[in-house]
Amino acid sequence: MEKIANTNSELIIHVTRILILLSKFGSQKTIKISLDKIMLLDFYMKYPNVMIEDENLKQNLSFYDYYSYYHWKPNREEYHVFLRLLTAKKLVSRNIIKSEFIYQITSDGTDVIESLNSSYYKKLDNVANYIKKNIARLSDTKIEEDIILKSFSCADN
């Protein structure tokens, strides 16, 4: 039973992180958030201590941060599960734009985000703001290069 509880809490953490990230882009047309873009940007959300050089966003490195390089290529199937859950709950919509699935937060998703006020939410919200301002407009290739460089350099430390 404990294993199920742990799985559920991890699932909630993952979908909350993705929902916070998507909330920063709303129904914005200029940045199209595909599955690949979500996986790349979420790496910054999961490992801000490794990926973001802004001292205001950093906290003490955790054990997991040192091993971020093991996770630089995320599990697509997991992200499909997260996005299917968010879509089923009508917190996120999935649309086809130029032959690609694009994800956007819905008004129900925005309502959920606006109801959050924990310190964990505030930390993730700050990270998501940083990502929107500094990372999201980069090409997927450039973001992936940054992930590889920073996550492997953390492994060397």
What are 54-107's pLDDT values in tens digits? Answer: 666 555 445 455 555 555 677 899 999 999 999 999 999 999 988 899 999 999
**Torsions phi, psi of 96, nearest 5?**
-100, 120
**28 or 117, greater pLDDT:** 117
Question: Distance (Å, rounded) from C-alpha 80 to C-alpha 58?
Answer: 29
Residue 1: pLDDT band with limits 50, 70, 90:
very low
Q: What is the mean pLDDT of residues 102-129?
A: 94
Q: What share of the chain is helix, strand, coil (3-state, %, to 5)?
A: 65, 10, 25
Angle at 69 between CA 64 and CA 74, to 5 degrees: 95
Look at the chain and count its residues. Answer: 157
Count of C-beta atoms within a 10 Å radius of residue 27: 11
Domain span holding position 97: 2-156
Question: Distance (Å, rounded) from C-alpha 89 to C-alpha 133?
Answer: 28
Unique residue bearing structure tokens 């925005």: 110
Domain count, the chain: 1
Residue 4 has pLDDT above 50, yes or no: no
Residue 35: pLDDT band with limits 50, 70, 90:
very high
Q: Is 94 helix (H, G, I), strand (E, B) or coil?
A: strand
Residue 50 has pLDDT above 90, yes or no: no
